[in-house]
Structure 1
Amino acid sequence: MSHKLLTISCAVAAALSIAACGKKEEAKPADAAAPAAAPAAAGEVVVKLGFAAPLTGPQAHYGEEYKNGVTLAIEDANAEKPTIDGKPVKFELMAEDDLADPKTATQIAQKFVDAKVNGIIGHFNSGCAIPASKIYSDAGIPQVAMATAPAYTQQGFKTTFRSMTSDTQQGTVMGKFVVETLKAKKIAIIDDRTAYGQGLADEFEKAVKANGGEVVKREFTTDKATDFAAILTALKASSPDVVFYGGADAQSAPMAKQMKRLGLKAPLVSGEMTKTPTFLKLAGKEAEGSIASLAGLPLDQMPKGKDYETRYKARFNADVATYSPYGYDATRAVIEAMKKANSVEPSKYLPTLAKNEYAGVTSSSWAYDDKGDLKDGGITVYKVENGEWKVMQTIGK
């Protein structure tokens, strides 16, 4: 799942082949994952939750899995036959494909406002969530985004909340980890110039330097590139101990392959958008030894992770990849705030969402600070061993 604010594009990789989307990781197509909602019963209040993420293109596997978590949360909430302000309510999902494109994201945001949705889950990409957040703020609609860019919650909006920890924490943890744990002295950094990729790389660079490491090379690419030979050849000359990449698996996977083919012995280290089944599939045997961080605990160590994993697989006939538990908790946190405030009106439940504590799948104390950042959140570091992501260490928990 994160910096130049609105001018930085999030990943729009239409030039890549659909094969790069990692179809194996995708759950079901949008229509199959979320069946048509049943008509509201007489006297039932319909509560609309907007959802936006990339649902087509090279990032579709992120968006679809994220959406599945939101869908499951809504289905679970409706199964409880909730009442708010003395009236039965039915939660409905209004899902939109923002194409991982900032302009499309703002158009969708206005569409949600015009539709008078009661809350927003999304957007997925920081470069989409940031420009859309101004529209939601102006309308007073709470937004719980997967965005991890520090800038998302630094705008001063009272309506912005996160589903995952900020890159300030993740970058800081990983910068210290490569210097102190991996004993790397010379570090090279590449980012994709998106709000997420550059932001994570910036925080990582600060932490490397603060912990006594040397950044021997800083390069950048785009979120559409697949050929990194020139960049990697330049990095090889500086003999780095680690190559850090800020960006998505559509780039980090071919980068890992090309690093091995060029004889770069340094491991590839990256963030949560690399810690995916798709990365393993695309990088193949060259994925071996790659390292990635992910917010929170491993699924089997999450407070309700094992139960969630079982129910998710039964519902979608797919394994949990990365983002769906956080989408689930974001949705349930909004719903619980509505129930506690006894209102579905954004202006009335917003203060409750900001102060409430929810016992979720990913955390037993899902709660926000005064900026909308999650208070509780460790970072888990994973390494590819024998073709699988294996836990190396959980930090900051």
Structure 2
Amino acid sequence: MPRRQRSIATCLLLSSAAIAPFTALAQTPLTVRIGQVGPTSGPAAHLGADNVNGTRLAIDDLNAANVLIGGRKARFELIAEDDAADPKQGTQAAQKLCDQQVNGVVGHLTSGSTMPASKVYNQCGIPHVSPVATNPRLTQQGFKTSFRLLANDNAMGDALARYAHSTLKLTKVAVVDDRSAYGQGVATVFKKTAQSLGLAVVDEQFTHDKAADFSAILTAIKAKGAQAIFYGGLDTQAGPMLRQMGTLGMGKVHLFGGDGICTVRLPELAGGAANVTAVTCGEGGSSIEKMPGGLAWKARYDARFPGQYQGNAPYGYDAMMVLAEAMKKAGSADPKVYGAELFRIDMPGVTARIAFDATGELANPALTLFQFKDGKKQALN
């Protein structure tokens, strides 16, 4: 072979050898491990399971779509942890995920668990998107790793107090909370707004998230002539509270609450009590009927997880999709690389169009109030 031909052949061989590793790398799947934390045991287990399901459905959709990150086909894996809605257990779960060097986290669910966990994620540099934790302090800590997909408690407590004053024309209310970060947060805002509007807060009481007997609290509130009770807590206490209100002759007393009580399961937890019709509750975001493509998405969810829908799942789904979109835009699943892209996200989701402000709050959060009629939750707006 002539020298020139030998030189060309040698160059081609060397080029092929150089390209081969990059080709092999591009063909090697990229494993993306996503942590998901919420209560799958304890009083809020039904809410936590709903969120896990939503995240799992998103991961199934992403894997079916053959997503490319940095030119490599991504394979998403879910690592689900139970925090039982307990702050200590939530912190332990967060540290475990940090130690495992997951690529991102969907969670946590309750504010009481999310707040301390957010500090752990900030220290290890892993972004987390909380689907439904609403305590305003979450995004006031200055962390660049914390995001949420719902209106916070400032908006929720304010809206419910204004509804009590302007629509129902109430003048006397009582406030009860379960001493959790979530319960105290939303109850404090309701009280502050109610008083600013001229409503008299005639009594304040406290309970806890495992309580079942509210007779002493309710008897004290009844003696003060309250026309309504605002409860900061979860449906697992609001249900029995409603039933006991009926027993004590308080069937016409309104019960207000945030997304913690605003679940499709509330009538069941109230034992079918007739005064469930006196409940007005709120949720950040739109009702499933008004979400972009919400009903079509729910049909897919129900087919995969029959009878398990509680209302949180679409937010778990969108939280996962937001993380994946930031990774695609950055061309990397490395938290230190794609984290900044979360602040530049502007994408359609199941729940809403998703974009964050500089603190990690949803840029344009919606808020929906609900009541119950014939045992079913119905949107007022």
Output the TM-score relative to the length of structure 1: 0.86
The residue aligned with 1:82 is 67
Is the Cα contact below 8 Å between 1:121 and 1:144 reproduced in 2? yes
| Alignment of 1:317 onto 2:306 | yes
Is the Cα contact below 8 Å between 1:48 and 1:94 reproduced in 2? yes
Counterpart Cα distance in 2 of 1:52 and 1:141: 14
The residue aligned with 2:181 is 195
| Alignment of 1:259 onto 2:245 | yes
User: Which AA in structure 2 matches 1:370?
Assistant: A
- The 5 Å alignment of 1:1-397 reads 43-145=28-130, 146-264=132-250, 265-283=252-270, 284-286=272-274, 287-318=276-307, 320-363=309-352, 365-392=353-380, 394=381
Counterpart Cα distance in 2 of 1:270 and 1:338: 37
More helix, by proportion? 2
Paired residues, what number? 352
Counterpart Cα distance in 2 of 1:188 and 1:134: 34
Residue 57 of structure 1 and its aligned partner are, at CA, apart by 2.0
Is the Cα contact below 8 Å between 2:294 and 2:350 reproduced in 1? yes
Counterpart Cα distance in 1 of 2:330 and 2:115: 27
3-state SS of 2:289 partner: helix
Counterpart Cα distance in 1 of 2:168 and 2:323: 40
Counterpart Cα distance in 2 of 1:42 and 1:127: 43
1:2-54 deviations in Å (ceiling 9; x for gaps): xxxxxxxxxxxxxxxxxxxxxxxxxxxxxxxxxxxxxxx97111000100111
Residue 238 of structure 1 and its aligned partner are, at CA, apart by 1.3
CA RMSD of aligned residues (A): 1.3
Is the Cα contact below 8 Å between 2:43 and 2:210 reproduced in 1? no
Counterpart Cα distance in 1 of 2:330 and 2:73: 15
5+ long unaligned stretches in structure 2 = 1-25
Is the Cα contact below 8 Å between 1:289 and 1:385 reproduced in 2? no
3-state SS of 2:179 partner: coil
1:133-181 deviations in Å (ceiling 9; x for gaps): 1110011110111311111111111110012211111111111111111
The residue aligned with 2:14 is none
1:191-244 deviations in Å (ceiling 9; x for gaps): 000000010100111111122212111111111111111111110111112111
Counterpart Cα distance in 1 of 2:190 and 2:273: 27
User: Which AA in structure 1 matches 2:315?
Assistant: Y
User: Which AA in structure 1 matches 2:358?
Assistant: D
Residue 391 of structure 1 and its aligned partner are, at CA, apart by 1.7
Residue 285 of structure 1 and its aligned partner are, at CA, apart by 2.5
Is the Cα contact below 8 Å between 2:242 and 2:273 reproduced in 1? no
1:330-369 deviations in Å (ceiling 9; x for gaps): 1101111111111111111111111211200010x21111
Identity of counterpart residues, as a percentage?
Answer: 43
Is the Cα contact below 8 Å between 1:130 and 1:152 reproduced in 2? yes
Residue 252 of structure 1 and its aligned partner are, at CA, apart by 0.4
1:268-324 deviations in Å (ceiling 9; x for gaps): 111112111221112112323212111111101111201111111111123532100
> Larger Cα Rg: Structure 1 or Structure 2?
2
Is the Cα contact below 8 Å between 1:71 and 1:93 reproduced in 2? yes
Is the Cα contact below 8 Å between 2:187 and 2:232 reproduced in 1? yes
Counterpart Cα distance in 2 of 1:381 and 1:205: 18
Counterpart Cα distance in 1 of 2:27 and 2:92: 33
3-state SS of 1:236 partner: helix
5+ long unaligned stretches in structure 1 = 1-40
Residue 267 of structure 1 and its aligned partner are, at CA, apart by 1.1
